[in-house]
Amino acid sequence: MRPVGEAALLPMANVAMIDYTLEFLTATGVEETFVFCCWKSAEIKEHLQKSKWCRHTSPNTVRFVTSDLYRSLGDVLRDVDAKSLVRSDFILVTGDVVSNFNISRALEEHKLRRKMEKNVSVMTMIFKESSPGHHARCHEDDIIVAMDSATNRVLHYQRTQGLKRFRFPMSLFQSLIENVEVRHDLLDCHISICSPQVAELFTDNFDYQTRDDFVRGLLVNEEILGNQIHMHVTTEQYGAHICNLLMYKAVCSDIIRRWVYPLTPEMNFTDDKNQSYTHSKHNIYRGVDVSLGHGSVLEENILIGQGTVIGSNCFVTNSVIGQNCRIGDRVILDGAFLWDRVHIADNVEICHSVICDEAEVKEKVKLKPRCVLSSQVVVGPDITLSEGTVISLHPPDEEEEDEDQFSDDSGVNKMESKVKLKGYNKKDVGSEGRGYLWKADDKNEEDEEEQRQSLWGPALHSEEESESDSDLSLGSEEPDSRTASPQLDDIKVFQNEVLGTLQRGEEENISCDNLVLEINSLKYAYNIGLKEMMQVLSKVILEFPLQQLDANLDSQNYFSALLPLLKNWTPLFKNYIKRASDHLNALFAIEEFFLEHDSLCTSIAKVLMTFYQLEILEEDVILNWFSLRDTSDKGKQLRKNQRLQKFIQWLEEAEEESSDGDQD
């Protein structure tokens, strides 16, 4: 078995995340691990070489593959295929998975499936059951899965992305499968058992970047390629993937509350002498040489690293404190995550925040929830940091290096000289402070929100894992802050390209088949989903006459110009509009177009009629669309259009007739 891992060195309950991942793999019986890294590969390598994984007694052989060219999971797997590193089934995990899952049952199922039907099932994904609202679920990773309950086959996989309503392809329920389960109570552990074909498929499809792309692509092309994906749901064991600080917090507290047993701090699974803890009641873990001042209270769920000194009359609860920290008197730590060598002066209050290595907090500083102080930052004295403040040593204009702020010592040293050139803003960090407010300039409220989210979100992706499509992640508390999709520009460009293509097609009389081919390649080039594709296509075609006739024309002219075009391009539509959801999407796009062009409103009925007659749109879907209630006022007005109502009436009657006919 040869899993592929990606690494992360962030301390999780004082142990680097990658150690959890490797321990999970080893415990589950993996004998050989390939660690792929590009970012900070030297540090990761050094860390692992010092750890127990590289001792000769380790049952799990760890190998490194580093390259700066890895920009995504897809690149890694293509490289795996090119070097033919795997010949049998392997486990694919990212370097930030914490789990005590025992893979053997899932693996057996996987093998059995592959034996029964040769090479059909290529991947088994592991999910953990956890109901919505669970603290270990983050919106970024929230998924809806449709599965065949008899065979555990994945039929549909989609990220919720904060949406309230979802569309499933009709084919899902029309197929021969008896029981289809649609589940929203699953947490993706980001552990998948893959057959060697997975790497090959990544090579064949050079546009796959992430595992999501892969799953989506495979499900869409299931009939063509004949590959299937299965899933395994665990209820008892733990598995989580840390993708942002909220998840970091949740998983840390799960570790301390012993959900991940036996991967608890006092087990010292890394076999590091500095990491030995004793566990006492209320889940308090204490390293060697910890001293606690008089009158200090450790309430519950606390981990204190070796050599830490806590002053008198402090109150600590639900916190993780790293090694060799100095904490003054009368300090209140609630949900604080302190990494190594942090200095905290007297009378400080820290609430639900992360403080990285060697940071210093001076007297009387108050940190509101969700603050982050990166390495070596100094704040204070006597200042209150508002909710969600992020302070790092990197001047805000150097965004390309903003990922470095976490635990990157060498980077920080390099920055030191630059830092001297610019003064620190005393208002932000206090009179003796050192550090810059991270990327928070004169932008509006929403932007700041987004920035903060993106930090509590994917800034913690220390790795290449380029999840470009989820760059604007969201925390579980602000479900609707995801406003604009980053692909918007792409869609615009795509739309223009499609328009250009169609124009050319019209002028040069290119056959529809070739047009489809061109549009398909554009679709892949701009990474456009089917839904957007539909909308763009409908819009472009409807707008087409406007451009030819220099706008400002009445509906009569418009329609007569549109009609031949529609007839010409019928095969184009038919190629894309297949499922019920496509029909609806097309209808929405049509509706949108007519809302934008009030003057043409009257011709909507005719257009729809044409679509219907050309058998592009089905009557059911049109009726369905018409009866949708939750439209805007304008939409309602549009529906009151006389001609449209007549058309609908006609459709209804036609349907009744046809059903009557059936009965006879």
Partner 1 sequence: MPGAAERGSELSEQIEAFVARLRGGGERPRSEDTARQTMALLQKIIEHGRWGRAGELMDLIRTEGQRMTAAQPSETTVGNMVRRVLKIIREEYGRLHGRSEESDQQESLHKLLTSGGLSEDFSTPYPLLRANVIEAINELLIELEGTTDNIAMQALEHIHSNEVIMTIGYSRTVEAFLKEAARKRKFQVIVAECAPFCQGHEMAVRLSKENIETTVMSDAAIFAVMSRVNKVIIGTKTILANGALIAVSGTHTLALAAKHHSTPLIVCAPMFKLSPQDNKMVPVFLTLLYSRLIQFPNEEDSFHKFVSPQEVLPFTEGEILAKINVHCPVFDYVPPELITLFISNIGGNAPSYIYRLMSELYHPDDYEL
Among 135, 159, 634, 643, binds partner 1 (CB under 8 A): 135
CA 451 – CA 438 distance, rounded (Å): 9
Contacts of 295 (CB under 8 A, 6+ apart): 312, 313
Residue 269 touches partner 1, criterion: CB under 8 A: yes
Per-residue interface string for the shown chain with partner 1, residues 190-229, x marking contact by CB under 8 A: ----------------------------------------
Residue 334 touches partner 1, criterion: CB under 8 A: no
What three-state secondary structure class fits 441?
A: coil
Q: How many residues bind partner 1 (CB under 8 A)?
A: 46
Interface segment toward partner 1; rule CB under 8 A; list 7-15, 291-299, 391-399, 426-434:
291-299
Interface segment toward partner 1; rule CB under 8 A; list 6-14, 264-272, 359-367, 572-580:
264-272
Of 165 and 281, CB closest to partner 1 = 281
| Whole-number CA gyration radius for the chain | 29
Closest CA to 263 of 16, 544, 24: 24
Among 166, 173, 206, 261, binds partner 1 (CB under 8 A): 261
Residue 273 touches partner 1, criterion: CB under 8 A: no
Of 9 and 48, CB closest to partner 1 = 48
User: Exposure of 508 by Cβ count < 10 A (0-12 exposed, 13-18 middle, 19+ buried)?
Assistant: exposed
Residue 104 touches partner 1, criterion: CB under 8 A: no
Residue 236 touches partner 1, criterion: CB under 8 A: yes
What three-state secondary structure class fits 435?
A: coil
CB of 262 to partner 1, least distance (A): 6
Backbone angles phi, psi at 34, to 5 degrees: -105, 125
CB of 212 to partner 1, least distance (A): 24
Instruction: Show the DSSP H helices in 257-352 as ranges.
Output: none
Write out the two tokens for 191.
């552990």
CA 233 – CA 177 distance, rounded (Å): 19
Among 200, 272, 299, 346, binds partner 1 (CB under 8 A): 299
Residue 31 touches partner 1, criterion: CB under 8 A: no
The residue count of the chain comes to 664
Residue 283 touches partner 1, criterion: CB under 8 A: yes
Q: How many DSSP H helices and E strands does the chain contain?
A: 22, 35
Residue 534 touches partner 1, criterion: CB under 8 A: no
CB of 41 to partner 1, least distance (A): 27
Of 102 and 203, CB closest to partner 1 = 102
Interface segment toward partner 1; rule CB under 8 A; list 12-20, 132-140, 431-439, 487-495:
132-140
Residue 244 touches partner 1, criterion: CB under 8 A: no
Sheet holding 326-327, edge to edge: 291-292, 309-310, 326-327, 343-344, 360-361, 378-379
Of 104 and 632, CB closest to partner 1 = 104
Please report the DSSP string for 519-575 in residue order.
HHHHHHHTT--HHHHHHHHHHHHHHHHHHHTTS---HHHHHHHHHHHHHHTHHHHHH
Interface segment toward partner 1; rule CB under 8 A; list 281-289, 322-330, 366-374, 527-535:
281-289
H or E segment at 191? strand 186-194
Among 21, 158, 301, 389, binds partner 1 (CB under 8 A): 301
Interface segment toward partner 1; rule CB under 8 A; list 53-61, 143-151, 347-355, 393-401:
53-61
CA 5 – CA 375 distance, rounded (Å): 26
Among 45, 71, 167, 258, binds partner 1 (CB under 8 A): 258
Closest CA to 228 of 119, 137, 83, 315: 119
Q: Under the rule (CB under 8 A), what is the footprint of partner 1?
A: 26-27, 56-59, 100, 102, 128-135, 185, 235-236, 238, 250, 257-262, 267-269, 276, 278-284, 286, 290, 292, 297-301
